[in-house]
Structure 1
Amino acid sequence: MAWPYCRGGETTMLKHMIGAALALGVSAGAAWADWAPSGPIKLWIGFGAGGETDTLGRLIGKEMSDATGWTVVVENKPGGGGIAMFTQLATVPADGQTIGMGVSMPVLVNLTVRADQVPFTLDSFDYLASVASAQLAIVARKDAPFDDLAGLLDHAASSDGALVGFDAKPQELLLNVLNKDGGALRPVSMKSSAELVQNLLGGHLDAAFNAGTHIPYLDSGELKMIASANAGRHSYAPDTPTVREQGYDIYVDPVFYIAAPAGLGDDVQSVLSDALLAAMNADTVRDAIQNALHTEPSGDGPEATRAMMDDGMKNVATLFGK
């Protein structure tokens, strides 16, 4: 369903959308230009049903549909950490009728380590919005004899090494960077944040990466956070410095983002971006992001989202020693 063309309905809807745009601090005049979709908008999700990307994408699609009157159809296209979806997205017409939601790190890693096998580049897309960043911490037991990365490295050097748990390849690569000058951190692969916390509390690990399961244990005093592995500090731990702030110019920043095939007109990109940002500001989406990722919506539009991907490429190249 496109914009209602009945004059009264159009005026009411425009007022509603302009109000949402202004609440986000965007330009109402630029946001609601002359473009409207000619039919249903397809929102492709680069992962299977039931995960965080799927849940957030469906909520965003619903809020976008409710606010604009457009029909937004959400479809799952899993495979390769979003690579399958983005491969297909790069080939469809740049008419604003098809957009896709994925996570930055799998895309950036593939473009870094096997660019010749990936049938798209960053320039294959126009970027619409960043949804939020998954906050990744490095944590230890409360009684661990260190409180920061320097202390962890010293502890590892003065013993037989320190076992540090991880559940994704970029985390292991970050540990390799920390070990670059002869560190003795010993990566231990596990399957999930929950398994990492269990082994940390059980004394089987000296430290571990974690993406949220650890937070109740920070509150209870059983665990402490020694670093944010993201580019910025965490909202729930604003006093804990990042890995970068502790002397290592590296981070792991999985960002949920939405893109379209390259070639959108400026008016199309602007309308889609502002509609998405308005949807992310809805209470249901904000609550879901807070519950799933323990953070707020990013609020980043096209330019900031593209810059995030460009900076991420440089960072991933450093992770892989390129």
Structure 2
Amino acid sequence: MPTTLSRRAVTLAIAAAAMPGIAPAVAQTDDWPKQPIKFIVPFPPGGTVDPVARILQKQITDATGWNIIVDNRPGAGGSIGTAAAAKSPADGYTWVVVFDTHAVNPSLLPNMTFDTLKDLAPVMLVGTSPMAVVTPPGRPFKTFGDVVTAAKAKPDTITYGSIGNGSLGHLTLTLVQQAGDFRIVHVPYKGGGPMTQDVVAGQIDLAIGTVALLTPQIQAGKVRALAVTGDKRSPVLPEVPSLAEQGFPNFSALAWWGVLAPTGTPKAIQDRMHAELAKALAQPAVRKQLGEQLGMDLVASTPAQFNTFLSEQVARWGKVVKDNNIKPD
């Protein structure tokens, strides 16, 4: 299972960022930045990665006066924009904000033009979030256990949607089916919008997506939440039990968001950006936006912690992709 970063890590990261002299190398960046800084978002506007980048952009710009531009470069599960970042000059003017697909793509996409672990330097794991499993109100399922029972009685008759083949939701329910010895039918969508529309309309029996994506429909009574995929309940959906509480002990699968830089970006500049990210994430308004609106558990990790987390995610989900011969859409 991936490393769980504690709330103490958040506190330490923020404290370190606020302490003068904690990183002497930061003083070496006095002449940086001299030009606009680019935050590449390898997804279109909407979703969750774009608002994360824009919230951080605004807070850092307001605090420092830096000119930060958000550059949306969508395509291929985030790999096109991320490749552009990996191939950019390592001068501190290009950063990329990634989603959990970043750890799946190396195994899912055979022709990627960069090495996920070698060509990009982890700067910060911003936060994590469980996913939610939901069903239309007209379906008979009241708990995830009801799904398992029905699926065992009639295998391959219950459908579930995800945001695409190889998405974290798809891989998560693949693992859960194996652990619970039941079978349901995957229906891949080209994103969260179409999937959400279909589950609300009752076109599919279940859907799995981030808490941020599905909470508005849950709160409006348009779908019923059966489970969240973290090892504990989500503060945004405290009444919804985790899969770990429903017959899958110790199970956890988290969506996540992080910031990386081209490998070779000077450490002093990486440290400076890390410090500003940590300061931004310490602001109550930012914590409210990311926590309450996007359902995110803020982490604000160190680069070393993010490196360990990312390596574990690549290994974990790569094995699921390969063992199940999962192909992209």
Which TM-score bucket, shorter chain as reference? Answer: 0.7 to 0.9
Distance 1:315 1:39, change over 3 A: same
CA–CA distance in structure 1, aligned partners of residues 111 and 214 of structure 2: 38
Is structure 2 residue 256 aligned with structure 1 residue 269?
Answer: no
CA–CA distance in structure 1, aligned partners of residues 195 and 109 of structure 2: 29
Asked whether the 8 Å contact 1:174–1:250 carries over to 2, the reply is no
User: 210-219 or 260-269, which moves further after superposition?
Assistant: 210-219
| More RCO (CA 8 Å, sep 6+) | 2
CA–CA distance in structure 1, aligned partners of residues 12 and 181 of structure 2: 52
CA–CA distance in structure 2, aligned partners of residues 214 and 52 of structure 1: 12
Letter in 1 for 2:272: V
Task: From the CA coordinates, give the structure whose radius of gyration is larger.
Answer: 1
**Structure 1 residues without counterparts, runs of 5 or longer:** 1-20
Is structure 2 residue 68 aligned with structure 1 residue 66?
Answer: no
Asked whether the 8 Å contact 1:162–1:185 carries over to 2, the reply is yes
What is the CA distance between 1:174 and its match in structure 2?
Answer: 3.0
What is the CA distance between 1:240 and its match in structure 2?
Answer: 4.1
- Of 132, 136, 142, the match for 1:137: 132
Report SS of the residue matched to 1:178.
helix
- Of 16, 25, 33, the match for 2:15: 25
Asked whether the 8 Å contact 1:277–1:301 carries over to 2, the reply is no
Matches within 5 A, 1:107-122: 107-114=102-109, 117-122=112-117
Distance 1:292 1:39, change over 3 A: same
Report SS of the residue matched to 2:71.
strand
**Structure 2 residues without counterparts, runs of 5 or longer:** 1-10, 324-329
Residues matched between the structures, number: 301
Letter in 1 for 2:305: A
Asked whether the 8 Å contact 1:165–1:207 carries over to 2, the reply is yes
What is the CA distance between 1:275 and its match in structure 2?
Answer: 0.6
Letter in 2 for 1:308: F
State the Cα RMSD in Å. 3.4
Letter in 1 for 2:28: W
Query: Equivalent residue for 2:237?
Result: 237
Is structure 2 residue 38 aligned with structure 1 residue 42?
Answer: yes
For residues 145-177 of structure 1, what are the alpha-carbon distances to aligned partners after superposition, in whole Å with 9 as ceiling and x for unaligned? 555444321122224632223232222333333
Asked whether the 8 Å contact 2:136–2:201 carries over to 1, the reply is no
Asked whether the 8 Å contact 1:126–1:262 carries over to 2, the reply is yes
Asked whether the 8 Å contact 1:103–1:254 carries over to 2, the reply is yes
CA–CA distance in structure 2, aligned partners of residues 240 and 60 of structure 1: 29
For residues 169-197 of structure 1, what are the alpha-carbon distances to aligned partners after superposition, in whole Å with 9 as ceiling and x for unaligned? 22233333333375231223345556555
Asked whether the 8 Å contact 2:13–2:278 carries over to 1, the reply is no
Query: Equivalent residue for 2:159?
Result: 163
Query: Equivalent residue for 1:225?
Result: 225
What is the CA distance between 1:218 and its match in structure 2?
Answer: 4.0
- Of 53, 57, 60, the match for 2:53: 57
Distance 1:231 1:266, change over 3 A: farther
For residues 203-255 of structure 1, what are the alpha-carbon distances to aligned partners after superposition, in whole Å with 9 as ceiling and x for unaligned? 54433213345434544666443222346542223464544564277655332
Distance 1:233 1:312, change over 3 A: farther
Asked whether the 8 Å contact 1:56–1:285 carries over to 2, the reply is no
Distance 1:127 1:141, change over 3 A: same
What is the CA distance between 1:260 and its match in structure 2?
Answer: 0.8
CA–CA distance in structure 2, aligned partners of residues 35 and 231 of structure 1: 42
Distance 1:191 1:23, change over 3 A: closer
CA–CA distance in structure 2, aligned partners of residues 22 and 248 of structure 1: 30
Report SS of the residue matched to 1:118.
coil
Report SS of the residue matched to 1:210.
strand
Matches within 5 A, 1:1-322: 24-27=14-17, 28=19, 29-31=21-23, 33-36=26-29, 37-40=32-35, 41-49=37-45, 51-105=47-101, 107-114=102-109, 117-141=112-136, 146-159=141-154, 161-169=157-165, 170=167, 171-180=169-178, 182-190=181-189, 193=192, 196=195, 199-200=198-199, 203-211=202-210, 212=212, 214-216=214-216, 218-219=218-219, 223-230=223-230, 233-238=233-238, 240-243=240-243, 246-247=247-248, 252-290=253-291, 292-322=293-323
CA–CA distance in structure 2, aligned partners of residues 167 and 111 of structure 1: 18
Distance 1:98 1:164, change over 3 A: closer
Letter in 2 for 1:256: W
User: 125-134 or 245-254, which moves further after superposition?
Assistant: 245-254
Distance 1:218 1:307, change over 3 A: same
Give TM-score, length-normalised by structure 2: 0.75
Report SS of the residue matched to 1:25.
helix
Report SS of the residue matched to 1:314.
helix
Give TM-score, length-normalised by structure 1: 0.76
